[in-house]
A and B are shown apart, each in its own frame.
Chain A
Amino acid sequence: MGFSDADLAAIWLTLRLAGITTLLLLLIGTPLAWWLAHTRSRWRGPVAAVVALPLVLPPTVLGFYLLLAMGPQGPVGQFTQWLGLDALPFTFWGLVVASVIYSMPFVVQPIQNAIEALGRRPLEVAATLRAGPWDRFWTVVVPLARPGFVTAAILGFAHTVGEFGVVLMIGGNIPGETRVVSVQIYDHVEAMEYAEAHWLAGSMVIFSFLVLLALHATHRHTTHGAMP
């Protein structure tokens, strides 16, 4: 035996969810990390704390409040209704929104660390060479902070793949829409289909191991590069 069609659908859905989430997080997380690395605003502490919240909150808390907030009576639900959109719970895009919040610290923090480690000096030098802000970002920040971005992307992707509690709370377990791998494994176990559960669960263990191995490799690469 191997993967059933339902399993494959869950795997594809999970990869799509993690891919889109990672992309969005790099777009949102980079300016946020930049701001956190450079600002002297008194809002720095509170914003950093909010970004880090998903690290310490149980996913059920996050899922529960997202369900209430996105529901027809919640503020987000009212907003989506006002926009003329469907409510977010039980939809793929609802999961994307939830995953962006849930995986935020895993993307923002590595980028922020990399930018902080960079310091202002390279940017000031680039500015004296008449590089504009965009130019400075693409030719100075991105190449120098590259390991931070790679770490952020890998962690954001992997963490979204491993998401369970939040999806369970707001997903509604719809095949091809919200039934991701972790939920599919849970279903197999609950239905006493242990052989099927092993296939998926074992794959997750191997996947996670490979991700961490890749992460380790990028880190080694960086330290060697940085300290010749």
Chain B
Amino acid sequence: MKTTLKMIVVGLTALGGVNLAQAEEVSVAVAANFTAPMKAIVAEFENDTGHKAVLSFGGTGKFYAQIKNGAPFQVFLAADDTTPAKLEEEGLVVTGSRFTYAVGTLVLWSASEGIVDADGEVLNNNRFRKIAVANPKLAPYGKAALEVLTNLGLKDSLEPKFVFGENIAQTYQFVSTSNAELGFVALSQVIKEGRIASGSGWIVPGTLHEPIRQEAVVLANGKGNAAAEALMQYLRGDKAAAIIRTFGYAL
């Protein structure tokens, strides 16, 4: 009995040891808008490096609160540049690891054909009941959407029609179920093979809002984790760049 137990313990230790020596695991907090591209990138990453990446998707603000309170993430891909900067100030990230991995593109989108025209003129007619926007306080895409409407001089007149998603994923859900006729979502959510896959959309010119710079950091937790280092490297590489572009982000 005792020997069996000993063997199991030895066996487990050995397994763990082998694991550590060859490939490591990294747990990554990923902004909701980057869900689809990150899944594609990580599939390639695991294939090419043998490391494993465990992904959690969610709102950047929630991740910030969780990281501050000891969440076991090693890498954080935020939806903005202010949250990673804040974490860096607070000494919760590996210094010098912060970089822009993608620049987001905003799209005014409807699940139905023929609602949103190619120039966004739809915003000027009064023929829709609700327009979905990500909560500008929490989501960079929501902040950008409000900047667009402010620049077009439409913010005040459209305000009664706003419905707010907690993050860009929920905003997309409101529009895709047609509960809101149209809404500002991330291009990455509606794009497939380089074009808007269904419904109708207007890709908002970047001149109408501040760039949505999305930054990645290695968290203090991930210091010395080989898989975390490798993933950051991989995100800067050509293969990842190609995937990121097909999902409608700039670099």
Contact = CB atoms under 8 A, between A and B. Distances in A.
A81 B64 CA distance: 42
Nearest to B160: A174
Given A90-B130, A190-B62, A190-B166, A71 B138 contact: no
Given A190-B59, A192-B64, A73 B178 contact: yes
A73 B129 CA distance: 15
Nearest to B177: A71
A187 B179 CA distance: 22
B47 to A, nearest CB: 33
A87 B62 CA distance: 30
Contact of B179 (A72, A186, A189, A192): A72
B179 A87 contact: yes
Interface in A50-78: 67-68, 70-73
Most buried by A among B61, B64, B170, B177: B177
A184 to B, nearest CB: 11
B162 interface: yes
Contact of B166 (A73, A90, A173, A192): A173
Most buried by A among B130, B170, B179: B179
Interface in A176-195: 186-187, 189-192
Size class of B's contact patch? 20 to 34
A172 B166 CA distance: 8
A124 interface: no
B25 to A, nearest CB: 28
Nearest to A188: B137
Interface in B191-219: none
B135 interface: yes
A87 B130 CA distance: 10
Contacts of B135: 173, 187, 190
A135 interface: no
Contacts of A191: 61, 137-138
A168 interface: yes
Size class of A's contact patch? 20 to 34
Contact of A173 (B65, B163, B179): B163
B211 to A, nearest CB: 21
A71 B163 CA distance: 14
A81 to B, nearest CB: 12
Contacts of B163: 90, 172-174
Interface in B41-76: 59, 61-62, 64-65
Contacts of B62: 189-190
A3 to B, nearest CB: 17
Most buried by A among B59, B135, B137, B164: B164
A67 B179 contact: yes
Contacts of B182: none
Interface in A128-144: none
B166 A168 contact: yes
Nearest to A186: B166
Contacts of A73: 177-178
Contacts of B137: 187, 190-191
Contacts of B138: 187, 190-191
25 contacts: A67-B177, A67-B179, A68-B177, A70-B179, A71-B178, A71-B179, A72-B178, A73-B177, A73-B178, A86-B129, A90-B163, A90-B179, A90-B180, A168-B170, A172-B130, A173-B163, A173-B166, A174-B164, A187-B135, A190-B59, A190-B62, A190-B65, A190-B137, A191-B138, A192-B64
